Amino acid sequence: MRIRKPLVYLSALAVVIATGISLAVVLIIPRPSQPQPVTSGCAWPVALNQATLAENSQVNVSNPDTASDYWIMPVPVEQGLSVTLAGRYPNSRYMSIAVYNAQGTPFTTNGVSSTLPDYRIAPDPGSVNPWQHQAPPGGRFTVTLRSNAAPAQVNTLPVAPARTPSGNTDVIFYRVYAARGGPEQVPLPSITITHNGKSTQLPQCPASSQQRIPKSYCSIPWVGEESPVCGAAHGAAAPGEDGTIIPFARNSVGEGGTPDNDIAYLSASIVPRRNAGVVVVRAKAPTTPSGNAPTPWPQRGTELRYWSLCIDLAQPSVPVVVNRLSNGTVDYGCRHDNQVPIDSKGYYTFVIGTESQRATIERIPGTTFLPFSAISPTQPYELNLRNMLPEGHFRQAIQNVPANGRSASAAAAMGPYYPRISFCPLATLAADGPSACMLAEGPSNNASETTTSTKSTRLIAKLLFVCALVGWAILETWQGLKRRGKSRPAAQPGDRGSRLIMFFYGVVAVAIAIWVAAKVPEASTPGGVITFGIGLCVMCGGLVLRWRSFKALGRYVTVPVVTSPDQLLITTGPYRFVRHPSYLGLVLVLAGIGVILANWFSIAVLALVPLIGVMYRTHIEEDALPGILGDAYTRYASTRKRLVPFVW
């Protein structure tokens, strides 16, 4: 019983630490003040589209796609309240209805998602959904929002996350992309609010009022914090180094921002050169439906429902570029698939330049012009590529790119569909075409070469890792077989279950580390090949240390803890530096695997969790060895650390 006390102490310490962290989270994180619900006297009081962007620059936030039209309806969260939307399928490429909580985040309640895309909206009796069956737009649908939404209920969305207290405000988004005739031709669903058995159909807000954001709307937490129209302050763009490119990568999406669950984003950053050069973006174009009329989805022969590229100002509010031209028109810094010419190889070429370069760029065959800001053309920019609703067979969609902020991961996942960026003199582009611009930046801009190189590197890395694992398995198996059937005179067992405890903690740590690496990409480590190389070196170093320890012990190596009268004190090899080098080698092997998994949490789990079993095992040995080796071991232990030289 005395020997097991360290394990009890370690378990108690883990419980105390976990309890302390939980209390700290509860006490330190401030509780929000009691919100006041937003009310509106009419339906859809907020409209976000090209018209509102041009009329009110304060709503130009969160990198909008200017081919999309949003209508927003605040909904108070109250017990027993339900909302009914009755509308017609619009003549557009895409439509969806989504509910966001007070933080601007979609949610799931009782297994029911708060978002509903067009092809999943069942039609009313006698109508046809044109995204389900071939039919003209205009059919009717009805969608209900209620607090007790259940998976079996058709066209039903949760009005709020479970256990949301009354007094909060959620918002309904009605999204339409690439509407024929513009937002004026989109029939908005009617809104009927039912509370305590009383139903009230709200009148439609006039179009003029939709361009003036109502102040009551600003009481929604994420709106008040982010929208300039509500007084939120956003700083100017941070200055960047002239001629900087941060290639496209997929970043993790935090809370808020009212993301569309059907869309994934790839982002890049650029700071233009001041020598009048242009920026060229080139990649293979995914196939999408022709035209903007609704068609049954999924559609054979297509890879995405929609894609677009927008240029935004790299400042906290991330507004899209809006240039007022001398002819009275407005150029919004977005282009979507059907507006982009594709060359004979299936590639698109965007050329980003100033308004003074527009005419020259537009004369270059097969290119699409995107504008820098006419007001401040040399400031930093953010490029955002959108992919909407990929077909299941299209594995190169952005949705399949790891959200780890790494351009190498995005390039490997997307292959030729990954957009590559290059600065280029306008004269070179005009004379020799976009291929000359991409080659000027070096071989890394060649999609096929980069993809092949990346695949070869990953294959070599996998082979090296497998070889290290096989080497570890051979080492451990050989030692076990070598000792089988061999016993020393008067050998005394004293394992006390330490072998099984070490094995248990090791297996648990590996399982948790692999799961975390797959489920928490936000904790991915930087470095790619460098990180893998470091992890492999740590792992192999641990294997070498473990092998040298076994060699130094010779015939005294045992799997369970066993002592015998003829046992000698080993002070050679790694035992010159620490008392238990083989266990240090084991910890290094597992920590190296954590580094190879390229996740901070995995590293922490594999470096720390096995230590619990190792500490218990070393305590068992420390209790047993003085009884056999006497004062010699006591003197040895007083001059050597247990596991880590000079530390512990």
User: Is residue 589 a part of any domain in this protein?
Assistant: yes
Q: What is the CA radius of gyration of the chain?
A: 32
pTM exceeds 0.85: no
pLDDT surpassing 60 at residue 440: no
pLDDT surpassing 90 at residue 446: no
Q: What is the residue whose two structure tokens read 């994180």? A: 29
Q: Using alpha carbons, select from 325, 346, 339, 391 the residue that is nearest to residue 368.
A: 339
Q: Using alpha carbons, select from 365, 407, 364, 367 the residue that is nearest to residue 385.
A: 407
Q: Are residues 218 and 254 in the same domain?
A: no
- Tally of domains in the chain: 3
Q: Are residues 433 and 320 in the same domain?
A: yes
Pick the range with the lowest mean pLDDT from 219-228, 236-245, 333-342: 219-228
pLDDT band, residue 385 (cuts 50/70/90): very high
**Where is the domain boundary, 174, 199, 230?**
230
How many whole angstroms separate alpha carbon 641 and alpha carbon 580?
A: 9
DSSP 416: G
User: Is residue 41 a part of any domain in this protein?
Assistant: no
Q: Give 477-525 pLDDT, tens digit per residue.
A: 877 676 555 554 544 556 677 778 888 888 888 888 888 877 765 566 6
State mean pLDDT over 353-363.
Answer: 92
Per-residue confidence (pLDDT) for residue 391, from 0 to 100: 93
State mean pLDDT over 107-134.
Answer: 96
Q: Give 21-63 pLDDT, tens digit per residue.
A: 334 433 443 444 444 444 568 899 888 887 777 666 556 666 6
Q: Are residues 542 and 633 in the same domain?
A: yes
Spell out the residues 6+ positions from residue 80 whose beta carbon is closer than 8 angstroms to its own. Answer: 147, 195, 196
User: Is residue 360 a part of any domain in this protein?
Assistant: yes
Per-residue confidence (pLDDT) for residue 31, from 0 to 100: 44
Q: Are residues 501 and 624 in the same domain?
A: yes
State mean pLDDT over 595-607.
Answer: 86
Per-residue confidence (pLDDT) for residue 173, from 0 to 100: 94
User: Is residue 21 a part of any domain in this protein?
Assistant: no
Q: Are residues 610 and 578 in the same domain?
A: yes
State mean pLDDT over 350-372.
Answer: 93
State mean pLDDT over 163-190.
Answer: 91
pLDDT surpassing 50 at residue 423: yes
State mean pLDDT over 72-96.
Answer: 93
CATH code at position 516: 1.20.120.1630
How many whole angstroms separate alpha carbon 479 and alpha carbon 476?
A: 5
Q: Are residues 477 and 437 in the same domain?
A: no
User: Is residue 645 a part of any domain in this protein?
Assistant: no
State mean pLDDT over 400-410.
Answer: 93
Per-residue confidence (pLDDT) for residue 328, from 0 to 100: 86
Max avg pLDDT among 55-64, 229-238, 352-361, 596-605:
352-361
User: Is residue 455 a part of any domain in this protein?
Assistant: no
Per-residue confidence (pLDDT) for residue 186, from 0 to 100: 95
How many whole angstroms separate alpha carbon 629 and alpha carbon 474?
A: 31
Per-residue confidence (pLDDT) for residue 16, from 0 to 100: 42
Per-residue confidence (pLDDT) for residue 647, from 0 to 100: 80
pLDDT surpassing 50 at residue 87: yes
Per-residue confidence (pLDDT) for residue 270, from 0 to 100: 92
Per-residue confidence (pLDDT) for residue 210, from 0 to 100: 53
**Where is the domain boundary, 169, 201, 230?**
230
Per-residue confidence (pLDDT) for residue 17, from 0 to 100: 41
Pick the range with the lowest mean pLDDT from 239-243, 256-260, 305-309: 239-243
Distances (CA, A) of 483 to 479, 546, 555, 559, 580: 6, 16, 8, 8, 19
User: Is residue 14 a part of any domain in this protein?
Assistant: no
Q: Are residues 222 and 263 in the same domain?
A: no
User: Is residue 452 a part of any domain in this protein?
Assistant: no
Max avg pLDDT among 165-179, 248-262, 567-581, 631-645:
165-179
State mean pLDDT over 361-369.
Answer: 93
Per-residue confidence (pLDDT) for residue 455, from 0 to 100: 53
Q: Report residue 628 as tokens.
A: 């056999």
Task: Residue 347: give the domain boundaries.
Answer: 244-445
How many whole angstroms separate alpha carbon 134 and alpha carbon 475?
A: 65
The more confident residue out of 46 and 7 is 46
Q: Are residues 412 and 506 in the same domain?
A: no
**Where is the domain boundary, 182, 206, 230?**
230
Q: Are residues 53 and 89 in the same domain?
A: yes
Q: Report residue 406 as tokens.
A: 């790494």
Q: Are residues 222 and 137 in the same domain?
A: yes
Per-residue confidence (pLDDT) for residue 484, from 0 to 100: 57
pLDDT band, residue 557 (cuts 50/70/90): low
Q: Are residues 434 and 525 in the same domain?
A: no
Q: Are residues 432 and 482 in the same domain?
A: no
CATH code at position 386: 2.60.120
